[in-house]
Each structure stands twice: as structure tokens, then as C-alpha cells.
Chains A and B, each alone.
Chain A
Amino acid sequence: MSEHGQGHIINYSTLVTVWLALLVLTATTVAVSRLDLGALNIWAALGIACCKMSLVVAFFMHMKYENRLFQWFLFIALVTLTIFIGLTFFDVLYR
């Protein structure tokens, strides 16, 4: 264990690359929303948002370099949220 708690330092260039990628994705999501894909629109929007989220979490928030425990925790939190949403829909969709 290093002195600064795995103080992995991320290069500026990596950060900027990620930022660019995020901007590109933003443009994409706006563009996609102009197409008429029916119900797919919302899923496309969510999919892209999830990509953006992963980028931010992995690089800006250093999750990629944290230890396993953190990743597990994140996973638990996300699964919980998914379950809350999912189970609610069993009511709403089938009413």
C-alpha cells in the first residue's frame, strides 16, 4: 500500500481525451433525439447517458484505479437502484 492510499495520478492528456469523448457523446445524444426511433429513442438516450456516466466514474472519479471494494460498493448501489425501479414497474406496467 503506497503512502498516499494508491494516489494514482492521472495524466492531463487522459483527462482531456475523456472530456472530448464526453462532448462527442453529448452531440450524439442530441442528434439521435432528432431521429424518430419510437420507443428506442429513450433507450438510446439512456444508453448514451450510461456511457458518459461510466467515463466520468472511471476516469474523473478514479474508480478505475480504486480497489475492488469500491467497485463492489458501486455495483451494490446501482443494483439496488435498478431493483427499486424494476420492481415498481411490475405494478405500473401491469395495472
Chain B
Amino acid sequence: MSEAGHHKDYEGAKLGMWLFLFTELLLFGGLFILYGVYLNRYPEAFKAGGDKLNVFFGGGNTVVLLTSSLSVAVGISALQKGNKKLCLGMLWVTIGSALLFLVNKFFEWSAKISHGIYPGSAHLKEMIPGESVFFGLYYITTGLHGIHVLLGAGILTWVATLVRSDKVHQGDFVTLENAGLYWHLVDLVWIFIFPLYYLIL
């Protein structure tokens, strides 16, 4: 390793980040195991549940997240090329998308809740067995994902300020890259949530 290796070990930092992403992957993996098992047990109820979810909210949010993923990726390339302004712009786009996503989610959830569909609700208990499992999982999975979106947005904001104050720059951009990696993971998880919950009809 080079002399300054301690702080500038890019590979090491990225390796650590990737390992962390694996843990996130497995965290959601646990929920996907449950999903798989219960889908197998209650195919009908899951279809009925999926029917009640709004594809437009889900699809819209998918597009929002994909776009935000693009914008971070572009932002990173921009910083690598030394284009700080574009990078910052892109970061703001990403953070904006994250907020948009959350607003969307908020409306979606409140619509569901006003229909009496929320964990432990009396309405759910009356539905065919399995449907309440579907919605339980839906709330836990999207809730956990929502927390990650929030966290991701927070991290990106923090990195954006670092970029602004030139603490992260063309010659030292791991922090940005790692934040980007985290954000992509959030997107990845959604890529699976979307078809599994909104599109089983």
C-alpha cells in the first residue's frame, strides 16, 4: 500500500461499502424469503392483495427511483471529470426524487389506511386468510424501504454539502461514490418490490 494508504485506500473503502450493501441485501432477503413462502401458500390471497395496490403509484415511483439512480451515476461521472456544478445539480435532482418518492408513498399509504387496510386493523382480519399476511408484509417491506430512502436522502444531502465545500472533489470522491452505491441499493430493492407487490394480479 502507498504511504498515505490509511485514508486514501479507495479499494478498501469501496470494499467495506459493498460488504455493507450485502448486509442490506440480506436484510431484505429475509423479507423476500417470507414473501416467497407465503406466496406459495396463499397464491389467491396474494393476487387479491396485489389487485388492491395501485399500479400507478407503484409504477410512478419506479420511474422516479430509476431516474434518481441515473442522476447519481451521472453526478459521479461529472465529479470524476471535474464538473462540480453538474455534479451538485445531479445530486439535488436525486434528493428531490427521493422526496417525491416519499410524498407519493405517503399518499398511497394514507389512501390504504383510510380504507381500513393497515396492520392489525379489523378490516384486514375479515379478509381471506393470507391477505392480511400480504398487507402485513407489504407494510413492513415498503416501510423498511421507505426508511432507507430517507436515510439515503440524508446521506446524499450530507455528501452534497461536502462537495460544495470541496471536501469531496475530483481527486477524492470515494465518499460520493459510496453514497451513490447506497442509493443504487435502495433502487435495487425497489426493482424487486415493485413487481412482487404491485404486479401480481
Contact = CB atoms under 8 A, between A and B. Distances in A.
Q: Give the dominant DSSP class at A's interface.
A: helix
Contacts of A93: 40
A60 B169 CA distance: 19
Contacts of B171: 4
A70 B196 CA distance: 28
A31 B92 CA distance: 32
Contact of A80 (B18, B26, B70): B26
Contacts, number: 123
A5 B66 CA distance: 27
Interface string B25-53: 11001001100110111000000000000
A58 to B, nearest CB: 11
A62 B73 CA distance: 9
Interface of B: 9-11, 14-15, 18-19, 22, 25-26, 29, 32-33, 36-37, 39-41, 55, 59, 62-63, 66-67, 69-70, 72-74, 77, 80-81, 171, 173-174, 177, 180-181, 184, 187-188, 191-192, 194-196, 199-201
20 contacts: A4-B10, A4-B80, A15-B70, A19-B66, A19-B69, A23-B63, A23-B66, A33-B199, A45-B199, A46-B195, A49-B195, A56-B188, A60-B70, A60-B184, A61-B184, A70-B14, A73-B15, A74-B22, A89-B37, A92-B37
Interface of A: 4-5, 7, 9-12, 15-16, 18-19, 22-23, 26, 29-30, 33-34, 41-42, 45-46, 48-49, 52-53, 56-57, 59-62, 66-67, 69-70, 73-74, 77, 80-81, 84-85, 88-89, 92-93
